Chains A and B, each alone.
Chain A
């Protein structure tokens, strides 16, 4: 039997090796596929870099498992012998002999069959029973080699646009589609200049920053801009850092700046309400709050505290100040605080009653006391969920209220020290609110700068790719035209269909770009962009731009009909009739001003310093960009425009 078993063993190993090779290819292929997917995910920043090694290890392990499982695969000897029989024409002798040999009590006929098998065992052909399938393995090996040759180098070569993928997760709204960029960024002259402007703006914000977090954020942004300028980082890294900064900015905004505007408005309204009285002592504070100048308000509160501390305040003055602060505090009191105050008062009353009556305390009162406790707990939870700005407002209200109460209470006891301390705390709170407002403004400005930076990187990347694609080509030429126009030049080419080319000619206008700025009544320091148009010298606001010929200073009055195909969305159907209108600032009780400002390149009358005007307009535009849905690619034109006309 050993002779038969030996032949069968040879067939078995041939099968096992082939199976091992086949499984090596199949499992290895599956592992390679998995590895490829992981590499793609890593490149897309969906997974950390370590996963590349994990994927490689898993692929290798899979291949090894496949090969080993093939080598240790159990194969039925009788079946293998049957293969030998079939190939050698042995009439199932070997398989039958092996099967009969396993019988516990073989019959004489079975024994004879075993003997018969031994006479033909030399005719067995293991190589024919399990021939090597070289052709299959060669094809499989070639496919595997090609797959490895493609996938492994892709770990080092293939690079995804990091900014885009990261930004999808971080800032889904308004993020510009990033281009495929690799290696150091080559910036042209205009882009370098733009980057310098960005750097300057970021440095300015950084210098003005008070809040540590905002300062840290602006430091990081400044470092990024500097690194880009020096060419120290690749586009991938730049996009990754930009995405991280955007994420941090969003987190900060959510945490700190929410409801800030509401709080400032509440302060203003409270101050206005109190203004109806004629108290002189708190006038400075109220005026500052009305103007939403929190720093000034803080100073006035500190001044009152100093005066109180030095004992320079008469009893009458103190009374008036205390009443003013009390009223202000009452005006600032939020609904939640009111409810809390009432609930606390009821609870205290019920507790006193409980102490007083003890055994006679009714069940109804007990339930009411429990309810009040629950309400207070609920209100406390609500307070925890308030934004930082609202919490600060509540603290301010509390401090003012306490200070007023203390002042009224201590009048007899001459305890000015404590009251002054409370007033200083209120001033500190006002300062903090001011810092937060500043921080929010700086962060918002930084957000705009980051958008510019992203757009700059995208354009640089597109240019690096050879300016292929409609957007890249068109965007570049549009940018050049834009630079030329923003620089005060009249372009020889008005962009073909770009804009509205069929308007009527104007009536001999001077080609100046006019803007009208009105200020609200009552001394509001709020800028309102009334009209931003290009028209005749009188500053008549006209939407659109006329069909301008090369070198012609005249501009059309009518509305154009063309549509720039590069712009997103449907064309604007201006099928409404327009009429000229004049909007003037309304005269109110407070300070009011109206001014006409000509372009920076123009000489003429100006009622305000150009630097101030530029600052005002930039902020208004930045607000407007935030509010409106403007494609990121177009925002950069607006920002770039204001960069180019900045005061130098």
Chain B
């Protein structure tokens, strides 16, 4: 199979996946695209939205359509790290001896839903995020590799902040995308009601298995990026640094710390997936522009003035994207 056919296959497979998800999740195309992009880019996504917008449902549907092992962890303040990673318990073996055996936690799955991750203590969050980064878990002296693909979808509620532990910036950086889940429109709400209030919910077919996901991921990483397009991504990231000459006024005024190189990596990797999702063979500036907002919005730390004036990172990024031109 030549490149063009492989790309066409990729597009067909991902379209089928999106169609299956679309059976349950009405609208939210950007969120679905974002989640699929993160899945194929090998990253993790943080979904932020008020309760009831279908965040959990989206992840579950995705897991169903992909024939991957799914686990859900509801984060609460009393959740312990071992509740996620697993722990060693004393059991009797066949010879009658008592031995310590490692019981895997819910993190040993392909798709993990970390629901309301900001409700767990920093210690537990740290254990989770460490596993996300290292893709392995160490218990005692034993290290356990996590499954491939390993895809964490964390959710957090922007409201009800009492008793929560907001994720530190260093840990937010581990998420490839931070996606804002918005309210559905009236038409979409009608459709949601029609579909979810019947006796039988829509049936989801498995369109891709673990192997298929890994193949698509490899293909996506082969998508080339021209230097001038990569330069565009670099200039966007540089513009988030308040001390940079190319930073617009709003960035200089409201940003304390700009995006790290990991942010630039996230943009390029996500852009590659984005390009191939649209059936193209190379990354375009528009891809970079599209993924820049979800890839950078949680990597920019506002200063006191920005927080005091409630300037969102999205509005700062909008200004940066307006100032930084594709053609340089």
Q: Interface on A for B, CB 8 Å cutoff?
A: 78-79, 82-83, 85-86, 89, 91-93, 95-96, 99-100, 107-113, 116
Which residues of the partner chain A approach B280 to less than 8 Å between Cβ atoms?
91, 93, 113, 116
CA distance A110 to B326 in the complex (A): 20
Closest beta carbon of chain B to A602's beta carbon, Å = 89
Which residues of the partner chain B approach A112 to less than 8 Å between Cβ atoms?
3-4, 7, 281
Contacts A79-B328, A112-B3, A112-B7 given; does A86 touch B285 at CB 8 Å: yes
Q: Which secondary structure characterizes the binding site on chain B? A: loop
* CB nearest neighbor in A for B285: A92
Contacts A92-B284, A99-B227 given; does A108 touch B3 at CB 8 Å: yes
A-B contact pairs, 21 of them (CB 8 A): A79-B327, A86-B285, A86-B325, A91-B284, A92-B226, A92-B228, A92-B286, A92-B326, A95-B226, A96-B224, A96-B283, A100-B224, A107-B222, A109-B222, A109-B223, A109-B282, A112-B4, A113-B280, A113-B281, A113-B282, A116-B280
Closest beta carbon of chain A to B282's beta carbon, Å = 4
Closest beta carbon of chain B to A165's beta carbon, Å = 48
Q: Is B2 part of the binding interface, using a Cβ–Cβ cutoff of 8 Å?
A: yes
Q: Interface on B for A, CB 8 Å cutoff?
A: 2-4, 7, 222-224, 226-229, 275, 278, 280-287, 325-328
- A93–B284 CB distance below 8 A: yes
Contacts A110-B224, A112-B7 given; does A96 touch B326 at CB 8 Å: no
Contacts A78-B228, A100-B226 given; does A116 touch B327 at CB 8 Å: no
* Additional pairs, 6, CB under 8 Å, beyond known A91-B286, A96-B284, A110-B224: A78-B228, A83-B327, A92-B228, A95-B228, A96-B282, A108-B2
Closest beta carbon of chain A to B39's beta carbon, Å = 21
- B228–A79 CB distance below 8 A: yes
- B283–A92 CB distance below 8 A: yes
CA distance A78 to B282 in the complex (A): 15
Which residues of the partner chain A approach B223 to less than 8 Å between Cβ atoms?
109
Closest beta carbon of chain B to A79's beta carbon, Å = 6
Closest beta carbon of chain A to B225's beta carbon, Å = 8
Which residues of the partner chain B approach A86 to less than 8 Å between Cβ atoms?
285, 325-327
CA distance A321 to B327 in the complex (A): 108
- B281–A85 CB distance below 8 A: no
CA distance A79 to B226 in the complex (A): 11
- A92–B282 CB distance below 8 A: yes
For A79, A107, A108, A113, the residue with the greatest tally of chain B CB atoms inside 10 Å of its CB is: A113
Which residues of the partner chain A approach B328 to less than 8 Å between Cβ atoms?
79, 82
CA distance A110 to B223 in the complex (A): 8
Contacts A92-B226, A92-B229, A100-B226 given; does A82 touch B3 at CB 8 Å: no
CA distance A91 to B283 in the complex (A): 8
Which residues of the partner chain A approach B2 to less than 8 Å between Cβ atoms?
108
CA distance A434 to B281 in the complex (A): 108
- A93–B282 CB distance below 8 A: yes
Which residues of the partner chain A approach B229 to less than 8 Å between Cβ atoms?
92, 95-96
- B285–A107 CB distance below 8 A: no
Closest beta carbon of chain A to B84's beta carbon, Å = 39
Which residues of the partner chain B approach A116 to less than 8 Å between Cβ atoms?
280-282
Which residues of the partner chain A approach B275 to less than 8 Å between Cβ atoms?
91
CA distance A92 to B223 in the complex (A): 14
Which residues of the partner chain B approach A83 to less than 8 Å between Cβ atoms?
327
Which residues of the partner chain B approach A113 to less than 8 Å between Cβ atoms?
224, 280-282
| 9 closest Cβ pairs, A-B complex | A91-B284, A92-B284, A113-B282, A113-B281, A99-B226, A96-B226, A82-B327, A112-B281, A108-B3
- A109–B286 CB distance below 8 A: no
- B326–A85 CB distance below 8 A: yes
Which residues of the partner chain B approach A93 to less than 8 Å between Cβ atoms?
280, 282, 284
- A85–B284 CB distance below 8 A: yes
Closest beta carbon of chain B to A106's beta carbon, Å = 9
* CB nearest neighbor in B for A91: B284
Which residues of the partner chain A approach B226 to less than 8 Å between Cβ atoms?
78, 92, 95-96, 99-100
Closest beta carbon of chain B to A105's beta carbon, Å = 12
- B327–A109 CB distance below 8 A: no
* CB nearest neighbor in B for A108: B3
CA distance A360 to B306 in the complex (A): 104
